[in-house]
Structure 1
Amino acid sequence: MSLATLVYPVLDPVALRLGPLVIRWYGLAYVAGFVAAALILRNLNRSWKIGITDDQQIDIVLASIIGVIVGGRLGYVLFYGGSEYLREPLKVFATWDGGMSFHGGLAGILIAGWIVSKRIGASFLRLADLGAVGAPIGFLLGRITNFVNGELWGRTTDAPWGMVFPTGGPLPRHPSQLYEAFLEGLVLFLVLLWLSRRKRPEGVIFGVLLSGYAVSRILVEFVREPDLQLGFIAGPFTMGQLLSLPMLAVGVWVVWRALRAGKTSAGSAESESEA
């Protein structure tokens, strides 16, 4: 078999079966992502000397979990859901059947973060910077899980790394899940980690997260198969790209505004030496 027709290594989306209890890799990815983000948040809170208490950190993490799940599900129903949700509205709550939207989850976590920032009397942008650094780890794990599930594959290709997916027909396709895992996961995390160890105006890390994810998503969508129920939305553009454009604009604006304001965040030369 030539390299141009690599066969997808069929992987079980179920990580563990304990009688009637089924634990899927997708659920474990969410848990691991939140745990990693919480640990990074705790370390940065200490090194940046922000002074958020342990109880407040727990509030931030719990609010983030609720925001991601509720926002991600509602976003999927609104942006990608078909008429089935009108016929069976209770399916909105059937998260175990799959269907989560990144952009909806982002909206949910931003709303939750804003509420928590008001509740604990902290700067929203500072909290956003704090939470942004660990976020790409969740993106990385989520995209790897998409690959494990054999879903969200790319368009057909004759590239030597093209892969035949079980549900993607007989032709090799771009493993677009791995492209996204690399760009919006690994690369974006390293960029934000580097920024977190240097002096920068408040809000820069958050803005780079938004714009960095948006650029990665827009680029990969050019080789990712559009959602079957939607297809292309405007010419050659997909729903993922259209949703990422305003995200890119907001991210660039946040960075521009932060640099213009010039309010240095908590990362100081002292904290740089500790990192």
Structure 2
Amino acid sequence: MDDGIFYWDLDPVLFWITDTFPLKYYGILFVTGLMLGYLVVKRVFRRENIPLESLDSLLTYIVLGTIIGARLGHCLFYQPDYFLSHPIEMFLPIQKIEGNYQFIGYQGLASHGGALGVFISIILYCRKYKLKLFWVLDMVALGTPITGAFIRFGNFMNSEIYGKPTNGNWGVVFVQDDMIPRHPTQLYEAFSYLLIFVILYSIYNRLKLRNGQIFGLFLILLFLARFLIEFFKENQVAFENNMTLNMGQWLSIPFILVGFIIFLVKKKGLTTK
């Protein structure tokens, strides 16, 4: 700490399981976020008197949807040229280095792709277990912001997805990258997601919204926060430098619009599902 500037220089690897297999803080926080989100949804299932037998299956669907969707989202939205010519690296956490494939973990995950993956996985889940889609989406929306917050805490531990330079005394110097004070946008997102969780859970407790309204609010609040924070974030890939809005903002707009449509339609009772 110097003149209000915080210097961040943490090794992202907690320890090495083998010489080529690291255990990173990011992975631990990712799993922690998923489990905390699961516990929130489990509490809601109990409160709604829904049998818990199908909940473990829901977790499996969501985990697979999150990882597959987030990975494909990053590869196809941000680096399509590279990954379409290296398809094996799109699906496996490896990279060809000096002629040999090495385990590096998944170096790119896109939250917008993860959101699409989760949505598709929930559709498949509801079809199999004969549950109402929007009811399940409401329940999952209550736990998802916690998961998103812990993922962003993981990004902070990795010194990645940081913000633009700032003259404010809240700046963080990510020593492993450069010595420039920057907006800690990972923390901006993490704490905004925790606030969204508090808002949604309070609404669920007090207003008893159901049938898609919570999910609509979730899309509006989370992706509006993401849209605004992107103004302080460094672009992730070079082609974004020539864009008025970056890729993250363009991808957020459809989610916000869909959120408004779902909330208004469900509020007026124009659909029965």
Within the candidate set 126, 151, 154, 2:160 is matched to: 151
Give the partner amino acid of 2:118: I
Instruction: Report the number of matched residues.
Output: 260
Give the SS at the match of 1:17.
Answer: strand
Sequence identity, in percent?
A: 31
User: In 2, distance between residues paired with 1:116 and 1:233?
Assistant: 40
Correspondences of 1:216-255 after superposition (within 5 Å): 216-232=225-241, 234-235=243-244, 237-255=245-263
Structure 1 position 89, deviation (Å): 1.9
User: In 2, distance between residues paired with 1:80 and 1:241?
Assistant: 13
Give the SS at the match of 1:152.
Answer: coil
**Does the 8 Å contact 2:135/2:210 carry over to 1?**
no
Question: Please, which moves more after superposition, 107-116 or 225-234?
Answer: 225-234
Give the SS at the match of 2:182.
Answer: coil
User: Structure 1: which 5+ runs fail to align?
Assistant: 266-275
Within the candidate set 51, 55, 58, 1:57 is matched to: 55
User: In 1, distance between residues paired with 2:70 and 2:54?
Assistant: 23
Q: What is the aligned partner in structure 1 of residue 83 from structure 2?
A: 85
Q: What is the aligned partner in structure 2 of residue 108 from structure 1?
A: 117
Structure 1 position 16, deviation (Å): 3.2
User: In 2, distance between residues paired with 1:82 and 1:123?
Assistant: 35
Within the candidate set 184, 204, 219, 1:175 is matched to: 184
**Does the 8 Å contact 2:189/2:226 carry over to 1?**
yes
**Does the 8 Å contact 1:233/1:239 carry over to 2?**
no
TM, length-normalised to structure 1 = 0.88
User: In 2, distance between residues paired with 1:168 and 1:226?
Assistant: 15
Q: What is the aligned partner in structure 2 of residue 41 from structure 1?
A: 41
Q: What is the aligned partner in structure 2 of residue 191 from structure 1?
A: 199
Task: Verify: 1:206 aligned to 2:215, yes or no.
Answer: yes
Structure 1 position 228, deviation (Å): 3.1
Structure 1 position 158, deviation (Å): 0.7
**Does the 8 Å contact 2:8/2:173 carry over to 1?**
no
Change (3 A) 1:93 1:146: same
TM, length-normalised to structure 2 = 0.89
Q: What is the aligned partner in structure 2 of residue 25 from structure 1?
A: 25
Within the candidate set 87, 92, 95, 1:94 is matched to: 92
Structure 1 position 255, deviation (Å): 0.9
**Does the 8 Å contact 1:153/1:168 carry over to 2?**
no
Give the SS at the match of 1:161.
Answer: coil
Task: Verify: 1:74 aligned to 2:72, yes or no.
Answer: yes
**Does the 8 Å contact 2:45/2:52 carry over to 1?**
no
User: Structure 2: which 5+ runs fail to align?
Assistant: 94-104
Show structure 1 runs of 4+ deviating over 6 A.
Answer: 262-265
User: In 2, distance between residues paired with 1:26 and 1:206?
Assistant: 27
Structure 1 position 157, deviation (Å): 1.2
Task: Verify: 1:135 aligned to 2:133, yes or no.
Answer: no
User: In 1, distance between residues paired with 2:130 and 2:31?
Assistant: 28
CA RMSD, Structure 1 to Structure 2 (Å):
2.1
Structure 1 position 73, deviation (Å): 0.6
Structure 1 position 232, deviation (Å): 3.4
User: In 2, distance between residues paired with 1:80 and 1:117?
Assistant: 31
**Does the 8 Å contact 1:202/1:263 carry over to 2?**
no
Give the SS at the match of 2:53.
Answer: helix
Structure 1 position 204, deviation (Å): 1.3
